[in-house]
Structure 1
Amino acid sequence: MTVSDQENLLHTSSYYAASANDKSMRSELIGEQSCDVCIVGAGFTGISTALHLAEQGLSVIVVEGSRIGFGASGRNGGQLVNSYSRDIDFIKHHYGDVVGEQMAAMAFEGQRIIRERVATYQIDCDLKEGAIFAACNNKQFNELKEKKALWEAHGHDQLTLLSASSIQEHIGTGRYAGGLLDHWGGHVHPLNLVLGEAKAFESLGGVIYEASEVTKVTEGEVCQVTTAKGVVSAKQVVVAGNAYLTGILPDVEKKAMPCGTQVIATEPLTPEQQQAILPSDHCVEDCNYLLDYYRLSGDGRLIYGGGTTYGAREPDRVESLIVPKMLKTFPALQGVKIDYAWTGNFLLTLRRLPQVGRIGKNLYYAQGYSGHGVTSTHLMGKVLADALQGDTERFDVFAGLPQYPFPGGRMLRVPYTAVGAAYYAFRDKLGI
């Protein structure tokens, strides 16, 4: 086993990995196995789909190249953000009212599924209530007013608009012109959530193989999922590798771009410090294109993330990128020790909407949540599970969305996107 192979079996050096409830290693796939459904990838999409199917009595095997939650599912900000990376108004404008209404009917389902999973299986993942969208200027605050009206028109009745003064009752900073409190939002320890869901799946007879990188998926009447030491034969296959999928479905992979985001976790803060910065204990994300997001962990650390690197490059020093952002928001935390710093990849699509589809009769894929993965993946798990059992109505809505490759292909998609991001960052600074 090479050094690179060994590194792939270790979680990144994050706060989440250090505080994971389950650090045990599942066995590697060796030899031949068969099942109703084989799922490639043990992140939120894969495990959510697997759990829904196992609850319906299907035999399911999950094959993971590294560890459960190794990718974005175990590294993200842990925020339950409703809707999609592009909101309902965008979808209606580009794809019509019918598609917009169909997607709006699913826009708030992911968080409900998460809460149901946590309650049903008693998953210990530090679930906390409430998420705030914070406006950095008046233009963004007016857009939040429009978001509130939009979501309320589609059934979300648990939203509170926050003025520039009232938002300071929830966030101890003078940075914001106002905000929107989503009571259906919230935050979790994401790695413990996916580990808890994996344990629930296994309790129903499901099987997970780790350290089993898939080298080939063959579509046919019976699909074959091949690794270095084994093969799974399945009636149906779901490929759910997202940003960490390489070489399995090249035509699918070229339609999205891995992007990195950076996160830090402070030492545990005193109760007084916690009360000063986030007295309501809600999570927060601002409304900039290159946004900041932050929250308190279950043991009182500030988890603060932001920034984007295109093409999944890893910055040399995460702290140098994120600590200045944290101190701009909370200057009183000057001198607080940073215990953990890490990066992780999410998958960006050109239209920032999920890419979902079927190849042949029985090979499915889902990817590209573009920064809204925690809730969207849980919705997608239910959508995929229904489709695999013959109910394709909601699957067809997502699968019907056009999937565009990035202009210039793999060589040019990074510089093109970086230039676009720089443009929007400039707009953020000007407040336009």
Structure 2
Amino acid sequence: MSFPSHTNSYYAASANDTVLRPELVGEHQCDVCIVGAGFTGISSALHLAEAGYKVIVLEESRIGFGASGRNGGQLVNSYSRDIDFIKRHYGEYVGEQMASMAFEGQAVIRERVAKYNIDCDLKEGGIFAACNAKQFEELKAKKALWESHGNDKLELLSATDIQKHIGTDRYVGGLLDRLSGHVHPLNLVLGEAAAFESLGGVIYEASPVTKVQEAKVEGELATVTTEKGSVSAKHVIVAGNAYITGIIPEVEKNSMPCGTQIIATEPLTQEQQKAILPSDVCVEDCNYLLDYFRLSGDGRLIYGGGTTYGAREPEKVEALIVPKMLKTFPALSNVKIDHAWTGNFLLTLMRLPQVGRIGQNVYYAQGYSGHGVTSTHLMGKVLCEAIQGNTTRFDVFAGLPQYPFPGGRRFRIPYTAIGAAYYALRDKLGI
């Protein structure tokens, strides 16, 4: 097979590490075999390697090929469904347990960047921007909710205050979270992969997994098979998210790949940067089909938004995203777009992660529903704890119900697209 390459994104063009790892050939054995070299897989691998486990990571394409190397790069705290929703639907205990972990992912990222000196353009601060009065009231409630669970780095912004951070009159207010931030996501996962390898971990690229056979009885090894080899392991973690099919079909039926689109401008002048994002924070609005944007380490505006269901890619990303960018920043009408790309994230019906175990020793974690950068780093730590024998936090996530999309695999895409159209109308009407 020809060696795979990254999508044509700004992140790939500015990656710190372009080394090609070898394919898996022959039979191997280890303590833990991980399928997928994105944030969940590499975060788990690094935690396990630090704990002394012998770990092999198998990647179908390249490290960070999927959502981990294509996303908006924003460190958004909590989950796609917030703590109050979780308490209402799953009870006080589950809500409190998940609340205690809601701000941990960003701390893991910052610890990794500092400990291993990872060059990933880490910057501080993120804003939720309200497009109407109803959204602003919801941000007031979010501030109170998050503060009640330990986040004391929040600041409510009025319509005047928010313009000190974002050079537009689109927003009626916002919420600044100083525990948030933004990064070059591909360089983050590449830096974590290098840290894992420095501890003796092994990563094989261009090694698509064809089968995972879990242990039927306690003490038996699981087997992970690729086109040219196999790995026998005491434990397996399946972490392919939206970019894996056929490995655990009983789980895949409960999720759906969705595409988001991103552009990166040419480097902006210092004057342009100060005009649009003077405090250099990242921003996401509060619409159901949201826009998100930030400045890169070299001064480009990275702007994303839009959703395509069922992993369909639009013919022209620029045609979709540039009008959104110009609605926010009309002064950028003459700025050149250097990169445009799409990437898939994995949506679950309840918009909470799918986590569980199959048989005796095959674990899986996926479906972060748009909150993957921080949640994956939390999950890597939680999966490591479970493999070490402490399943308390793993069991909280694993206990969440996993519902199939209405209509099954055949009809879930049109049904969800209809839902997206409904939410787009709500955004326009401000309800």
TM-score bracket, normalised by the shorter chain, equals over 0.9
Identity of aligned residues (%): 81
* DSSP-derived class of the 1:169 partner: coil
**Shift of residue 81, structure 1, vs aligned partner:** 0.2
Using the TM superposition, give the Cα deviation of residue 335 of structure 1 relative to its aligned residue in structure 2, in angstroms.
Answer: 1.3
Q: Which residue of 1 aligns with 2:24?
A: 29
User: Does 2:207 correspond to 1:208?
Assistant: no
1:58-207 aligned at under 5 Å gives the runs 58-207=53-202
Q: Please give the root-mean-square deviation of Cα atoms over the aligned residues, in Å.
A: 0.5
Secondary structure of 1:65 counterpart: coil
SS at match of 2:95: helix
Q: Secondary structure at the match of 1:358?
A: strand
Query: Match of 2:270?
Result: 271
* Matching residue's letter, 1:158: K
Extract unaligned runs of 5+ from structure 2.
none
Q: What corresponds to 2:284 in structure 1?
A: 285
Instruction: Render the CA deviation track for 1:351-373: whole Å, top value 9, x for unaligned.
Output: 00000000111000000000000
What is the alpha-carbon distance in structure 2 between the residues aligned to residue 431 and residue 260 of structure 1? 24
C-alpha distance after superposition, 1:272-324 (max 9, x if no partner): 00000000000000000000000000000000000000000010000000000
SS of the counterpart of 2:37?
coil
Q: 2:176 corresponds to which letter in structure 1? A: L
2:330 is equivalent to residue 331 of structure 1: yes
Counterparts of 2:417 and 2:391, CA distance in 1: 36
Q: Once the two structures are superposed, what CA deviation does each residue of 1:103-158 show, in whole Å capped at 9, x if it has no partner?
A: 00000000000000000000000000000000000000000000000000001100
Residue pairs, 1:277-316, within 5 angstroms: 277-316=276-315
1:117 partner letter = R
Instruction: Please report the TM-score for the alignment, with normalisation by the length of structure 1.
Output: 0.98
Report the counterpart of residue 249 of structure 1 in structure 2: 248
Partner of 1:381: 380
Residue matched to 2:46 = 51
Q: Aligned partners of 2:422, 2:107: CA distance in 1, in Å?
A: 36
Measure the CA separation in 1 of the matches of 2:22 and 2:329.
44
Residue 218 of structure 1: which of 200, 213, 218 is its match? Answer: 213
What whole-Å deviation, never above 9, does each CA across 1:243-273 have from its counterpart, x for those lacking one? 0011111111111000000000000000000
Q: Structure 2 CA distance, aligned partners of 1:369 and 1:47? A: 16
Indicate the SS of the match to 1:165. Answer: helix
| Counterpart AA for 2:254 | K
Amino acid at match of 1:422: A
Q: Determine the C-alpha separation between the residues in 1 that align with 2:410 and 2:281.
A: 40
Deviations 1:398-428 (A, max 9, x none): 0000000101111110011111111111011
Stretches (4+) displaced over 2 A: none
Question: What residue identity is the alignment partner of 1:114?
Answer: I
Give the paired residue count. 427
1:180-224: CA deviation from partner (whole Å, max 9, x where unpaired): 000000000000000000000000000000000000001111011
DSSP 3-state at the match of 2:176: strand
- The residue that corresponds to 1:321 in the other structure is 320
Q: Distance in 2 between matches of 1:332 and 1:219?
A: 56
Residue aligned with 2:312, SS: coil
In structure 2, distance between residues paired with 1:347 and 1:428: 22
Residue equivalent to 1:235: 234
| 2:404 equivalent in structure 1 | 405
Paired letter, 1:324: P
Displacement of 1:27 in angstroms is: 0.4
Counterpart CA distance in 1 for 2:362 and 2:223 is 10
In 2, Cα distance between the equivalents of 1:426 and 1:89?
Answer: 25
Query: In the aligned structure 2, how far is the partner of 1:16 from the partner of 1:388?
Result: 33
Question: d(CA) in 2 for partners of 1:321 and 1:29?
Answer: 39
**Cα distance between partner residues in 1 of 2:430 and 2:343:** 28
Amino acid at match of 2:272: Q
Q: C-alpha distance in 1, partners of 2:355/2:346?
A: 13
SS in 1 for 2:163: helix
| Residues 82-118 of structure 1: per-residue CA shift (max 9 Å, x gap) | 0000000000010011110000000000000000000
Quick one: which amino acid aligns to residue 280 of structure 2? D
- After superposition, the C-alpha distances for 1:21-46 in whole angstroms (9 at most, x for unaligned) are 00110000000110000000000000
- TM-score, normalization: structure 2? 0.99
Partners in 1 of 2:144 and 2:355 — Cα distance?
29
C-alpha deviations, 1:6-60, integer Å up to 9, x for none? Answer: 5xx1100000000000011000000011000000000000000000000000000
